[in-house]
């Protein structure tokens, strides 16, 4: 099966790139199942009910979150009605789930959402938490396990790879919005430190440049806004899994709003 993973969708420019292009990409590239990170999808912060419906109707199958998962309180009931998850290592009594289990092409797959420590909200240890979860999944017969590691620190994401490369199908890094040039397949595990945002590519991490620059110059924070007009990009990792849940091959697709597309193949290690 072929899985498509889209990193942080930022605001309306990101949603527009999804609605305009995802259906064609799935058809052209033979993608069976699409995962995307929603935490910046509604004007840069959280996810609204309306935008959730929009993204699912555009061809996304399940959505993962992060430190902005709960910015829009209208998301709370959606955890019970839609395939939406939040980081697994929030406290156990937090609304929602950190794992989504489903079947694709008659094969059981599990998607796990984790959040790192550095510069993030207070959460449980992602490393110890995920090991117990993977133990349970393996005992239930799961071989196809995909992780969204939503973290600031590149070391946390890289450490997770070396911990779990023989046990999971892929580890996709999100949160920084800046795509990294380290897509690889290691021991059958697809890995990238950060997929990169889908949204405005000519701002600052998808946002209008004014407020971030002012903050850097004088330390005063202002509301970060998503530009109404910008040059946009859709970034997606596509990886193919065999019957044992190992990645056969992987590639990164960068699609620009002018129609240009760049495809880069993963390095196999």
Beta strands at 199-200 and 232-241: parallel, antiparallel or unpaired? antiparallel
Cα angle, residue 232 at apex, residues 259 and 52 outer, rounded to 5° = 105
Strand order of the β-sheet with 184-186 is: 99-104, 107-115, 144-150, 170-174, 189-192, 184-186, 267-268
Closest-CA residue to 195 (of 162, 244, 242, 146): 146
Residues 6+ apart with CB under 8 A from 81: none
What values do phi and psi take at 151, rounded to 5? -150, 150
Q: Which residue in the list 68, 144, 150, 177 is annotated as catalytic?
A: 68
CA distances from 254 to 56, 195, 258 (A): 21, 10, 12
Based on the residue annotation, tell me whether 144 is a catalytic residue of this protein: no
Q: How far is CA 69 from the centre of its chain?
A: 12
Alpha helix (H) residue ranges in 140-226: 154-164, 210-218
Q: What's the token pair of residue 43?
A: 């004007």
Residues 6+ apart with CB under 8 A from 252: 179, 183, 192, 195, 235, 236, 237, 238, 263, 264, 266
Q: How far apart are CA 133 and CA 128, in angstroms?
A: 9
| Active site (catalytic) residues | 68
């Amino acid at each position: 099966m072929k899985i498509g993973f889209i990193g942080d969708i930022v605001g309306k420019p990101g949603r527009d790139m999804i609605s305009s292009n995802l259906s064609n990409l799935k058809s052209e590239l033979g993608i069976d199942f699409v995962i995307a990170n929603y935490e910046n999808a509604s004007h840069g912060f959280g996810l609204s009910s309306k935008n959730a419906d929009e993204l699912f109707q555009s061809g996304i199958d399940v959505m993962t979150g992060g430190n902005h998962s709960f910015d829009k309180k209208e998301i709370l009931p959606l955890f019970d009605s839609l395939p939406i998850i939040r980081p697994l290592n929030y406290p156990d009594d937090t609304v929602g789930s950190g794992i989504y289990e489903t079947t694709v092409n008659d094969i059981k797959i599990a998607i796990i959402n984790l959040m790192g420590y550095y510069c993030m909200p207070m959460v449980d240890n992602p490393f110890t938490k995920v090991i117990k979860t993977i133990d349970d999944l393996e005992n239930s017969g799961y071989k196809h396990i995909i992780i969204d590691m939503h973290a600031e620190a590149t070391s946390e994401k890289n450490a997770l790879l070396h911990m779990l490369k023989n046990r999971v199908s892929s580890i996709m890094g999100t949160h920084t919005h800046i795509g990294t040039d380290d897509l690889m397949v290691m021991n059958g595990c697809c890995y990238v430190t950060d997929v990169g945002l889908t949204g405005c590519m000519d701002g600052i991490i998808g946002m209008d440049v004014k407020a971030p620059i002012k903050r850097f110059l004088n330390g005063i924070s202002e509301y970060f806004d998503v530009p109404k007009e910008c040059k946009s990009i859709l970034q997606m990792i596509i990886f193919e899994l065999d019957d044992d849940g190992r990645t056969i091959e992987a590639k990164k697709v960068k699609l620009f709003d002018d129609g240009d597309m760049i495809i880069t193949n993963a390095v196999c290690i």
